[in-house]
Amino acid sequence: MSANMTTDQKALMPEYMKDFKCIGAECEDTCCAGWRVSIDQQTMGMYHKSSHAELSKKFKTEIVLNPVSERTATHYARMNVNPSTGNCSFLTEGMCSIQAALGEDYLSQTCATYPRVVNVVNELQEVSTQLSCPEAARVVLLNPRGIQFYYEDKLTWRNLQFSSKFSTEHTKNQLARAFWDIRVAAIRIMQDRRYHLEHRFMQLAVLADQIQESLDTQKAYSIPQIIESFFDGLDQGSELNEEAAFPVDPQFQLKLTNKILLTILEKKLWHNVRYEECLNDYLAGMQEVNEQNIAQVTQHFNRIKHQFYEPFIKEYAYIFENYIVNYIYATAYPLTNNRSIFENTCYLGIILSLLRTQLIGMSARHGGIRPETVIKLIQSFTKNFEHMQGFRKLVLDICKDERVDALGPLSLVVMTRKP
């Protein structure tokens, strides 16, 4: 990934964007299911003026304006949901009736852009895709070569939606000023396959911790040197090359991640049927032993991890690598959600550990792991929690309760030994 470009190359894209195409009626979890779709003001105006025989009537009955206090140019109105299917009212036989009758230009910004994410950084469009779309999840995650990037002409559709726009030049935010260097370093670390995945992640956490310290001590000017020294250290055989430098505690990993999963269950924090199925598979897999004793449950967990997960991950670690790289790129890490770089890194590590625990539990239920199982878990997890207010806070609060708020405890939760 390089910041250099010519003037006609104004969009940065992962190569997987060339392979993505909506599969429409074939889709197993259509984006029109379960979400109330937003309509922007300009598209709403086009619907008002439409003279299409059937749709012009439906535009009047199946779209509601948002309350004045919530109404913005982007989120001006909402599609009604069909009460008998839970899908968007304009979905007919798996196809969008607006797109079929009037063409893509009549889609709202949300519908035209999804599942793409477009961030604008210093005028450069950064295009990626959300993994809540099953087809996008397959294209992004099932690529053994890893995610590569290229420059392309920028997208110029009328109804393109931007997730965020920010400058790394005209800002006093020191983290934003170092955005490009940090993100390039993060992706380089996560794609360095000399180390196993969790080892790479902990190397990234060390770098994030060092950068956090420079910010906390008003020494942000040193971030480029910190990054350079980090890679020099790796090249010269620093202890970060050794997986033994990072402590592991499988029992604590299971305790913390299981606590998060049980909280999700207790609070009924799911609306996606596919994610509910994954939760039930996890429970069934873990309940194969009737033990209440954490040591015996850990023993059962370690046995299925060894039997099913480790052989799988030896071959398919790239799925999780691609998940993390896509997360870093699409969420504009380290600026994700305006939280500190260490907190963002900690959250990502916990999610990695959470997905791993859930997958291991599910593997006992299925008697093994197939790539489609991971795709279903990551896609449905993303769809369920991506826009759920308060989920990130809930995870970080549980971590705080368990004192996972520094590098050492984070390693206990995330790190594994090479299978």
Q: Is 133 in the site for ligand SF4 (CB under 6 A)?
A: yes
Contact indicator for 91, 32 with CB cutoff of 8 Å: yes
| Furthest CA-CA distance within the chain | 71
Q: Which stretch binds ligand SF4 (CB under 6 A): 133-141, 185-193, 385-393, 411-419?
A: 133-141
CB-nearer residue toward ligand SF4: 33 or 186: 33
CB of 406 to ligand SF4, least distance (A): 38
- Least spacing, CB of residue 37 vs ligand SF4, in Å: 11
Residues 134-193 interacting with ligand SF4 (rule: CB under 6 A) = 134-136
Q: CA–CA separation, 289 vs 122, rounded Å? A: 55
Residue 126 found at the interface with ligand SF4 (CB under 6 A): no
Residue 118 near residue 160, CB atoms below 8 Å: yes
By beta-carbon proximity to ligand SF4, the closer residue of 114 and 230 is: 114
Measured CA to CA, the distance from residue 316 to residue 245 in angstroms comes to 25
The yes or no reply on residue 31 touching ligand SF4 (CB under 6 A) is: yes
When the beta carbons of 131 and 202 are compared against ligand SF4, the nearer one is 131
Instruction: Considering only residues 103 through 122, tell me which ones interact with ligand SF4, judged by CB under 6 A.
Output: 114-115
User: From the list 27, 120, 396, 398, which residue makes contact with ligand SF4 (rule: CB under 6 A)?
Assistant: 27
Using CB under 6 A as the binding rule, whether residue 30 contacts ligand SF4 is answered as: yes
Give the nearer residue to ligand SF4 in terms of CB position, either 136 or 362.
Answer: 136
Site string for ligand SF4, 57-96 (x = CB under 6 A): ----------------------------------------
Place of tokens 């439409």: 50
CA distances from 402 to 261, 266, 347 (A): 15, 19, 14
Residue 129 in contact with ligand SF4, rule: CB under 6 A: no
Instruction: Kindly report each contact of residues 316-321 with a partner whose C-beta sits within 8 Å and lies 24 or more positions away, as own/partner.
Output: 316/371, 316/374, 317/196, 317/197, 318/143, 318/144, 318/146, 319/141, 319/142, 319/371, 319/374, 319/375, 319/378, 320/197, 320/352, 320/355, 320/356, 321/146, 321/190, 321/191, 321/193, 321/197, 321/200
Contact between 23 and ligand SF4 by CB under 6 A: the answer reads: yes
Distance (Å, rounded) from C-alpha 326 to C-alpha 109? 22
Binding site for ligand SF4 (CB under 6 A): 22-24, 27, 30-31, 114-115, 133-136
